Amino acid sequence: MEKITVSLGERSYPITIAAGLFNDPASFWPLKAGDNVMLVTNQTLAPLYLEKLSTLLTAAGVKVDQVILPDGEQYKTLAVMDQVFTALLQKPHGRDTTLIALGGGVIGDLTGFAAASYQRGVRFIQVPTTLLSQVDSSVGGKTAVNHPLGKNMIGAFYQPASVVIDTDCLHSLPPRELASGLAEVIKYGIILDGEFFTWLERNLDLLLTLDTQAMAYCIRRCCELKAEVVAADERENGQRALLNLGHTYGHAIEAHMGYGNWLHGEAIAAGMVMAARTAEGLGQFKTDDVDRVIALLQRAGLPVHGPEEMKAEDYLPHMMRDKKVLAGELRLVLPLSIGRSEVRSGVTHDRVLAAINDCQKS
């Protein structure tokens, strides 16, 4: 069992990573007998895990209610979040309830924001079931729902009481979703850890076959890297923005194509190539390193071109809604080398458009 602590003073919390965690109620610390729980999951995961978890916790003396939401990024909305509030109020659950988010990033982000907002804040436990959410969205307390005019525009910084990562969940994950998670994994290597990037180049095939040991190491390393960044910068004033490599471009793809048509990791993969090309154009990132990034993403089965339907000009209006925009100016996360990156402002729109054009399928 791998265990990490995210250090945030009185909001510190543990992340537990292992196979078989769903077989032991102790995994779900700090739940104890007598507690009330609202288990939030989606229609795809409910038949796989809901009965098992519900039975496990009930046997441990926890009172379990549940709410099952439709599956998909398009349901990460205020209106769907309201269904969670309705379920909580119908029982009713009090301020001493605990929300469990059982699912990927959509369930985690939405349930986290629901927990932050229900009665102005109740406890919640993240149980991420996708690789993407295991290495990314379950760590760091960013919760949110989407708005038709922008992704993750409504939310809160709100930390879980604990994160429970059962790697067995990955066996039920579709290959596209696995690849989408690998995009975020590769991102950590590019922005923060050149050695880890090299490890990924050597071990990607093991990850693609869900080798237990390799996968556990990979998830732990990503969580560690993210936990370090978050601990240093909980509210994303500085270094934490680095985690957004590829996201400014990628969010534009997701928004333009309609949420859910391109998976988050797919959009971020193409976005990271665009960021790499932007950095290359500025003379701060070597062409050889661009090629290493592209090669690794391609081996993971990820797109390295933007969508054919989308012109370079289509990106900018979406990019200008990015949360990093300050005083109307774009700020981009750009790599300096594999393992080192920076937030940079003052990049001209022409430079950004040229890099996006470089990433069009020819």
Q: Which residues are catalytic?
A: 120, 142, 184, 226, 236, 240, 244, 247, 251, 264
Residue linked to tokens 């379990």: 64
Nearest to its own copies of 37, 116 (CB atom): 116
- If phi over 0 gives left and psi between -120 and 50 gives alpha, with beta otherwise, what is residue 158? beta
Cβ at position 137, least distance to its own copies in Å: 14
Among 323, 340, 349, 351, binds its own copies (CB under 8 A): 323
Give the contacts of 172 (CB within 8 A, at least 6 positions apart).
48, 129
Residue of the chain from 117, 198, 203, 284 that contacts its own copies (CB under 8 A): 117
Q: By CB under 8 A, which span of 6-14, 166-174, 189-197, 316-324 interacts with its own copies?
A: 316-324
Residue 125 and residue 161: Cα distance in Å, rounded?
A: 6
Candidate list 1, 30, 96, 174; residue touching its own copies; CB under 8 A: 96
Residue indicated by tokens 């289509």: 314
Query: Residue 37 or 276: which CB sits closer to its own copies?
Result: 37
Q: What is the side-by-side strand order in the sheet with 98-103?
A: 2-6, 13-18, 162-166, 123-128, 98-103, 36-42, 63-69
Q: Give me the 120-139 binding string for its own copies, x by CB under 8 A, dash otherwise.
A: xx------------------
Q: Which of residues 264-303 bind its own copies (CB under 8 A)?
A: none
**Contact of 20 with 168, CB cutoff 8 Å:** yes
Residues 27-86 that bind its own copies (CB under 8 A): 78-79, 81-82, 85-86
Q: Which is nearer to its own copies, 169 or 319 (CB)?
A: 319
- Per CB under 8 A, 198 contacts its own copies: no
Annotate 308-339 with b (16+ C-beta within 10 A) or e (fewer). eebebebbeebbebbbbeeeeebbbbbbeebb
Taken as a whole, the chain contains a residue count of: 362
Alpha-carbon distance values, 257 to 219, 251, 253, 315 (Å): 29, 10, 6, 11
Question: Site residues (CB under 8 A) for its own copies?
Answer: 78-79, 81-82, 85-86, 89-90, 92, 94-96, 113, 116-121, 142, 144, 147-150, 153-157, 235, 320-321, 323, 325-328
